[in-house]
Structure 1
């Protein structure tokens, strides 16, 4: 049995390091998942809300990721989500599993196997692992790690599953706390709003802040919800009136 209540500070990464620093916000969680990805030899990670049947966008369900924005856009533009064996498996099972883009391509019944291989190969992530997780309400999600390293061992899968369970629980906890204190903006949300107020586009903000466009949009959308606004312009205006940005 895997103990998801374990303390992260007591867990060791494969290189002998342990997680350092407080885990107080989504940026901290992003940092730690990134450390886990690096320590196990992956190129990046994706925290994904399992898409409902009929959903056509992987990007819209990405909660947090370091995958290239080109990967998410390429995946969606090729229409790969509906016939994905991975998404189908995540909808019906909570057991961790590895993936190989070439093997999965042969299991697609929609004739898009070559397109799927192309998207994963171009991102340098032909192999990886999916670790199903869920919140207290039973909403399904998964943490994926992708790269070109060899297939993970059973021991590595158990270790990664432990990390995924703990980190997702922490993410849910942080988001619930933020929701309850919806009037406060995080440092990243304030930064994005400041650049938005300066007239920067999402792509420009992504380059300035060294984030993906998806992540910038995530922070801006979260700030919009917190300030009870209907669009980015109104959010910036409310933040300025409240003295949150200048």
Structure 2
């Protein structure tokens, strides 16, 4: 069981470093997960809300990710979520596990094994780990690390599971705090709204900010929820009236 009262700064990465700086917002959490991903030799991470049986889109469940922007699009276009052995396992178990796209392809019963391998190969993430997590309210999610490194050891899996539990606990705290009002817009959310007010498209903003299109949309959607808006135009207008952007 993860000790959610533990301090992330007490954990040590494989290179001997620790995370000593404050973790006050989602950008900080993204940087922590980036450092963990890099330290363990992965190409990227994804924070994923465990989808229920009625969900048919992985992109709709991704809370935060540095996996290639085309990965989620290709995954959903191929209709891979319904027959995914990984998703099925996340729905029924809270035990961390490794994945290998080639082995998983043979376990699919929907004939989409080759398509799944192609998606993971395209992203250069044929192997990795899934680490089930939950918040204090019991909401279930998972943090995945993917890449082309060799399979992780049992000791690495245990260490990554501890990182995942503590980081997700902090993410849940930050997201709960950020839902309290419009004044809690993050720096990235405000930056996205400023570019949106300037007439930039999501593709243009992603290029300017060196982020994926998915990440830009995530920040904009989150700002829309915080400002209780129905679309991007109304969100920008409310932000301007509130003095959050100019």
The TM-score, its normalising length taken from structure 1, stands at 0.98
Q: How far does the alpha carbon of each residue in 1:181-211 deviate from its partner, in whole angstroms, 9 at most, with x for none?
A: 4443111111000000011011110111111
Contact 1:128 1:146 in 2 (8 A): yes
Unaligned ranges ≥5, structure 2: none
Residue in 2 that maps onto 1:19: 19
| Secondary structure of the structure 2 residue equivalent to 1:22 | coil
Distance across 2 between alignment mates of 1:136 and 1:114? 39
The secondary structure found in structure 2 opposite 1:106 is: helix
Q: Matches of 2:176 and 2:182 in 1, distance apart?
A: 10
Q: Secondary structure of the equivalent of 1:6?
A: coil
1:105 Cα deviation after fit = 0.2
Higher mean displacement: 223-232 or 99-108: 223-232
Q: Is the 8 A contact 1:58 1:81 kept in 2?
A: yes
Moved over 6 A (4+): none
Alpha-carbon distance, 1:2 to partner: 4.4
**Which range moved further: 147-156 or 172-181?**
172-181
- Give 1:97's aligned residue: 97
* Counterpart mapping for 1:73-222 below 5 A: 73-222=73-222
1:20-99 correspondence runs (5 A): 20-99=20-99
Give 1:220 deviation, angstroms: 0.7
The secondary structure found in structure 2 opposite 1:180 is coil
- Contact kept, 8 Å, 2:45 with 2:145, in 1: the verdict is yes
Contact 2:99 2:127 in 1 (8 A): yes
Q: CA RMSD in A?
A: 1.0
Structure 1: 5+ residue runs without aligned partners? none
Q: What are the superposed Cα offsets for residues 2-39 of structure 1, whole Å, 9 maximum, x if unpaired?
A: 43422111111000111131100000000001100000
Q: Structure 1 CA distance, aligned partners of 2:205 and 2:20? A: 28
How many residues are paired up? 246
What is the distance in 2 between the residues matched to 1:174 and 1:201? 28
Equivalents in 1 of 2:223, 2:215: separation in Å?
A: 12
How far apart, in 1, do the equivalents of 2:210 and 2:186 lie? Answer: 17
**d(CA) in 1 for partners of 2:236, 2:36:** 35
Structure 2 length-normalised TM: 0.98
